[in-house]
Amino acid sequence: MGFAVDLSQDGGEADAILSVRKFDAVVLDLGLPGLSGMEVLKRLRKRGSALPVLILTARDAMADKVAGLNAGADDYLLKPFDFQELDARLKALLRRTQSERTGWLEAGRLSLDKSARQAFLDLEPLPLSAREVGVLELLISRLGRVVSKEQLAEHLSQDEEIGENAVEVYVHRLRKKLESAGIEIRTLRGLGYLLEKTSCD
């Protein structure tokens, strides 16, 4: 598939390697011997790394998926999986990371200039409050993936504490402003929110 791959079959070894070497992405099995994949992920995020992480798990319980995403995973695949899907998921993660490095985030007709804190629809400025921009920034950076209320509250709590009720208000306002954008913010009860494209425009 064109990837240069380093393999580690032990959680402790993987953690040690990730603490000293740079990678473009990590495919992380949660069922590792030694240190669990979940612990490897938590330690990686505790070190402040934003490295894209795709977790692999045979566990199909929703709680395990949510735990992995809340611990900082960017995406997940359930075993057994098709290698073509793994390839597609990895390339999507890498594309998203590259666009984030340039300071622009895009989803269909919607784009966000992170440095200017300005959203655009069809290249026309979209009037959003600072909090709405913050919500959009996190949702668009994780397009197609669930973002919990807790994650949004933490993302918005820069200068002051933001509660989950306030998050609901900001999401509601943002949802109304995106009605014509071909983008939808879905509410997944008990999990959080999901930004996804609703048109091919």
pLDDT at position 99 is: 60
CA distance 159 to 188: 28
Asked whether residue 124 falls in the same domain as residue 191, the answer is: yes
What CATH number did the domain enclosing 125 receive? 1.10.10.10
pLDDT at position 101 is: 61
Asked whether residue 96 falls in the same domain as residue 127, the answer is: no
Q: What is the pLDDT along the chain (201 residues), one digit of tens a residue?
A: 888 999 999 999 999 999 999 898 999 998 899 999 999 999 988 887 778 899 988 766 677 777 888 888 888 888 889 999 999 888 888 877 766 666 778 888 888 888 788 888 888 888 888 889 999 999 988 888 888 888 898 888 765 678 888 999 999 999 999 988 888 999 998 889 999 887 544
Asked whether residue 107 falls in the same domain as residue 193, the answer is: yes
Residue 128 contacts residue 119 (beta carbons within 8 Å)? yes
Domain extent, residue 185, equals 103-197
CA distance 115 to 91: 25
Asked whether residue 121 falls in the same domain as residue 81, the answer is: no
Asked whether residue 80 falls in the same domain as residue 161, the answer is: no
Asked whether residue 72 falls in the same domain as residue 139, the answer is: no
Please tell me the total count of domains within the chain.
2
What CATH number did the domain enclosing 80 receive? 3.40.50.2300
